[in-house]
Amino acid sequence: MKLHRDYTLTEIAQLVSGEAIGEAGISSTGINEIHLVNEGDIAFVDHPKYYKPTLNSVASVIIIDQKTDCPHGKALIVHPEPFNAFNFLTQHFKKEIEQQLSPDPVIHGSAKVMPGAYIGNYVKIGERSIIHPGAVIYDHCVIGDDVTIHANTVIGSDAFYFKRRENKHDKLISVGNVVIENGVEIGSGCTIDRGSTGSTIIGEGSKLDNQVHIGHDTVIGKMCLFAAQVGIAGCVTIKDNVVMWGQVGCAANIEVGEGAVVYAQSGVAKSLNGGQTYFGSPAIDARLKMREIATISNLTRKL
């Protein structure tokens, strides 16, 4: 999420009542969770497993739960609960940004929003797009030109992102959105979660069948085809012209290369190269999987 102005390190530390360490002159221009950080961003870390990758990331200001050596060119804010501090900051900055905007949705005159559809605040809908009955478009989502969203689809619900504690699960409050690019068609009963701090993106010309789920901060390329009941976890990058057939499941934080084809009911557990066809769980080269199945079948017949 981009901030509406630059914030000094002192301002950020004061907002969360934390202790600032490192480059005092650093300013923050955005805030993002670690998978999305850019230079100038605020990020957080509260688990030793992620200290090193977070401290070595491009984030400029890091909220952390213990004192440690500050990398050159960065600043730290020591806080006993970085997760809570991060949630506080995203909500604070979101309110400031919204104060600069009109909450009324902007719907092009050629677009059609059918009776029974719900359009949230700050939404934009482009030319000739059609939103069918029962569809729900949450706040801040952007719908391009010539987009069709079928009945009972939900665009922009919260990210499935929780911190596990001893007696409860604390929610990372979502402040991102969903961007649906031009020429996309989304079937009935689909769910597309908004980004936790950035955008979930469905690329130009892509087509999603009924009952497809797309997790937070996932970026789907152009001209992709997803058949019914495909489920994509959060923070996945899917390149252009990828085909996923029915009930394919895709784990978080991986990449599927351009032109890949994944056969039905496959489980994608790690990144896949483009231009190849995959099958199985975990998904591997489809020809190898078919030979494996044939070999096992032959062995069982001989028993």
- The answer to whether 185 and 210 are in contact (CB under 8 A) is no
CA distances to 107, 138, 165, 281, 299 from 170, in Å:
35, 22, 7, 31, 50
Centroid of chain to Cα 259: 21
pLDDT of residue 229: 98
Whether 216 sits among the annotated catalytic residues: the reply is yes
- Domains, in order of start, for the chain: 2-98 (3.40.1390.10), 106-289 (2.160.10.10)
Distance CA 172, CA 239 (A): 27
Q: Which of 79, 132, 150, 216 is catalytic?
A: 216
Cis peptide leading into 133, omega within 30 of 0?
no
pLDDT of residue 260: 98
Per-residue confidence in pLDDT tens, the chain, 303 aa: 999 999 999 999 999 999 999 988 999 999 999 888 999 999 999 989 999 999 999 999 999 999 999 999 999 999 999 999 999 999 999 999 999 999 999 999 999 999 999 999 999 999 999 999 999 999 999 999 999 999 999 999 999 999 999 999 999 999 999 999 999 999 999 999 999 999 999 999 999 999 999 999 999 999 999 999 999 999 999 999 999 999 999 999 999 999 999 999 999 999 999 999 999 999 999 999 999 988 888 887 766
Supply the pTM of this predicted model: 0.93
pLDDT of residue 35: 86
* The two three-digit tokens of residue 235, written as one number: 């923070």
